[in-house]
Amino acid sequence: MREYSVAAVPGDGIGSEVISAGIRVLHAVAARDGGFNLNVENFPWGTDYYLEHGKMMPEDALDTLRAFDAIYFGSAGDPRVPDHISLWGLRLAICQPLDQYANVRPARLLPGIQGPLRDVGPEDLDWVIVRENSEGEYAGVGGRVHSGLADEVGMDVAVFTRSGVERIQRFALELARSRPRKKLTLVTKSNAQRHGMVFWDDVFEKVREDFPDVETDKMLVDAMTTRMVLNPESLDTIVATNLHADVLSDLAAALTGSLGIAPTANLRPERDAPSMFEPIHGSAFDIMGQGIANPIGSFWTAAMMLDHLGETVAAASLMTAVERVTANGDILPRDLGGDASTEQVTDAVIDALEGRNE
Ligand code: NAD
Ligand code: MN
């Protein structure tokens, strides 16, 4: 029996609702597969922990996490604490030191789901956005001085290093090469940002020489938003900086029906530290505690985690089960136009896995 250890960090808001649903589904997938076991340990870090201990997670949290094969994460953010404290104290405090530099965000229309774009079906919208996840605009470099004075200054400096830019672009080119269309779009803003972004483009010109079989093009980030809406079928794999891909991937999630279905992986491709898997959405304050959060994003995320662990057959069967539920359309959460609870959607996916709702 293959054994995997998974650290679950549900975090705040609806994080615990969707992660516990995801763990139920993961155990059902493993039971059905019969070839592997998932040992899931739960870590109750986040805002409650912060209010008690003054930090979002314990001092030795990273050492604890390093021992796991993967991290299954919910959300960081709670109305009782400023967002930059929760985000930097939990999610970024894991991603950055573990150097999970490749943030991978698939976006496609699941069967049965009508996105907001008229006449756009599953064959027209099938993207993977690769987000640089370690530097750029979110490097954390900057400062704030002269607090409260008329000349107060706040600065965030976008940092682009040759090694950081090269490794993410190479990763994206390899991912593009592995997909049928072998097509990669580089997102940039080198018209207005003439240092870091021109450097980003220059590195790309060099790196892409190693991938003559991958078709590439380049888009300014503002024009990219219109292309995503008006010509979704012209895109396949996309690589963008930390900030640009953060924004574009929420747009991508909306174009595929709801933020509630979108998954993401924070990968450490070298595999010398665990990677972290999370739904794209946040804590959803407006619906937390009501049992109505859409768990599909956390299921798709779980499938990405299984894939990364090497359980590709189990990952595919989980996605097939999710797609059966969306295609059937009887049991959908509210954000997808239905009225099912988190638990009902979870039950339906487990039934579909076990072939009970044909
Ligand atoms: P959000 O994703 O929490 O919510 C945006 C909207 O989408 C809300 O109306 C919400 O109800 C809806 N939504 C999100 N997920 C849903 C789901 N699974 N099912 C149904 N509806 C869903 O984004 P926000 O409001 O900008 O942020 C709220 C908090 O979450 C903030 O504290 C923010 O910092 C945090 N956040 C954390 C992460 C993370 O940890 N990865 C990501 C985004 C936001
Ligand atoms: Mn975001």
Per residue in 147-189, pLDDT (tens digit) is 999 999 999 999 999 999 999 999 999 999 999 999 999 999 9
Q: For residue 357, is pLDDT > 80?
A: no
pLDDT band at residue 273 using 50, 70 and 90 as cut-offs: very high
> Among 66, 90, 84, 67, which Cα is nearest to 11's?
90
Q: Are 137 and 245 in contact (CB under 8 A)?
A: no
Q: Tell me how far CA of residue 52 lies from CA of 47, 57, 77, 116, 193, in angstroms.
A: 9, 11, 16, 43, 43
58 C-alpha to ligand 1 centroid (Å): 24
Q: Are 214 and 173 in contact (CB under 8 A)?
A: yes
Q: CA 157, CA 118: separation in Å to the nearest integer?
A: 40
Per residue in 213-256, pLDDT (tens digit) is 999 999 999 999 999 999 999 999 999 999 999 999 999 999 99
Q: What is the pLDDT of residue 355?
A: 83
Taken as a whole, the chain contains a residue count of 358
> Among 158, 157, 160, 15, which Cα is nearest to 86's?
15
> Among 249, 269, 135, 141, which Cα is nearest to 203's?
135
Q: CA 232, CA 36: separation in Å to the nearest integer?
A: 38
- Partners of residue 340 on adjacent β-strands: 333
Instruction: Kindly list the protein residues whose Cβ atom lies closer than 6 A to any atom of ligand 1.
Output: 14, 18, 75-77, 83, 87, 91, 259-260, 278, 281-287, 293-294, 297, 335
For ion ligand 2, residues whose CB falls within 5 Å: 246
> Among 77, 73, 105, which Cα is nearest to 250's?
105
**Complete domains list, the chain, with CATH:** 1-103+262-358 (3.40.718.10), 116-255 (3.40.718.10)
Per residue in 56-72, pLDDT (tens digit) is 999 999 999 999 999 99
Secondary element (H or E) of residue 111: none
**Predicted model pTM:** 0.94
32 C-alpha to ligand 2 centroid (Å): 34
**Angle between the 342-353 and 312-328 helix axes, to the nearest 10 degrees?**
120
